[in-house]
Every structure is written in structure tokens, then in C-alpha cells.
Amino acid sequence: MRKTSKKTHHVYVVELSKRIWTENHKFRAANPHYMGIKECLYVGMTSGTPEERFEKHKIGAKSKKGYKISSYVVEKYGLYLRPSLYENFNPLSYTDAKLMEERLANTLIKEGYAVWWN
């Protein structure tokens, strides 16, 4: 299936509790650069609004077929959205959102944040 160039997707950033740093070894391993000064963040993309997607994470949402569609990281450690870090990029096409998700995560890492994304 070919993805269209319609601007129907969004990137978003969720601030995570710093507890993730002490409780989640995978998060620590993914962020060896982290100095503990800036926040811990989750970067994602969605075909809905960032607010809708954040709510799905927080309730541990599942697809109609029963597959988990929320991130455990946001479900357990998510505090709130950080619109100032993403709102100027949205909306995007699916292809652009996939690229921007990675670019935004890498930019935030370079700025000293600890970031989880996939």
C-alpha cells in the first residue's frame, strides 16, 4: 500500500518521569550520553492528534485485534506532552512524520535530553 502525501500525521514529545532513569535499564543503555541535567523524553508519531495519542498511551490501549498499541514507557512514566518541542513541525505526511520522528529524537539527544523512540 502506497502512503499518500496528505498531511494527516503528527510527531509528538512526552516528558517522562526521571524515575525511568533508575528503574529501566533499557532506557539507561539507550542513553549513555545522558548527564542527568535535562528531562527524559519519549518521541513518537501518530495519525491522530498528539493529545489523543497520549491518552491512548496512558490507558494502555489495544487495537481491535487485541494488540497493545501503547508504549509501556509512556504508560508507566509519561507525565505530559511537550508541545513547544514539536508543534511547529505538524501536520506532516506519513513519510515526513517517520523521518521527522527520528530527526527530532536525534536532535533532542544532541541537546542533552534522554530520549526513547521507536
pLDDT digits (tens, 9 = 90+) for 1-49: 455 578 999 999 999 999 999 999 999 999 999 999 999 999 999 999 9
Residue 1, in any domain of the structure: no
Measure the CA–CA gap between 68 and 34, rounded to whole angstroms: 29
What is the extent of the structural domain holding 71? 10-117
Q: Which one, of 85, 52, 58, 86, lies nearest residue 71 by Cα?
A: 58
Residue 17: all three cell numbers together: 518521569
Residue 5, in any domain of the structure: no
Residue 49, in any domain of the structure: yes
Residue 3, in any domain of the structure: no
Number of structural domains found in the chain: 1
pLDDT tens figures, 42-100: 999 999 999 999 998 888 777 777 777 778 999 999 999 999 999 999 999 999 999 99
Residue 4, in any domain of the structure: no
